[in-house]
Amino acid sequence: MQIRVGDGRTIKEIRFTGKGCAISQASASMLTELAKGKNLDWVKALSKEDIVGMLGNPELGPSRIKCALLGMKVLKTGVYGYLGTKMTDTED
């Protein structure tokens, strides 16, 4: 995932490249569209429920929910690294 941050706090551009299952690819793609123009604090506040809701509340089993959350975890890791703070989020 690649992000260009403007004014130090806003996502100006975001994109991803990757290979994976349809759920991981769809989730990452939708997340990049949703994140454009958002503040980095918005990313920090993202939750599992936000991602599942974005996907239309599908019935995902335990192994597939990890696929859906992969993009969010990568995005959060990048934002926390950019901000130089420790990630305190304990989402599965």
Q: What is the CATH number for 30?
A: 3.90.1010.10
Q: Please state the pTM of the whole predicted model.
A: 0.86
Helix (H) or strand (E) holding 6: strand 2-6
88 part of a folded domain: no
Residue 51 sits at the vertex; the CA angle it makes with 3 and 43, to the nearest 5 degrees, is 35
**pLDDT, position 86:** 65
**pLDDT, position 91:** 47
* Low-confidence residues of the chain: pLDDT under 70: 86-92
**Contact present, 91 and 69 (Cβ < 8 Å):** yes
**pLDDT, position 8:** 82
14 part of a folded domain: yes
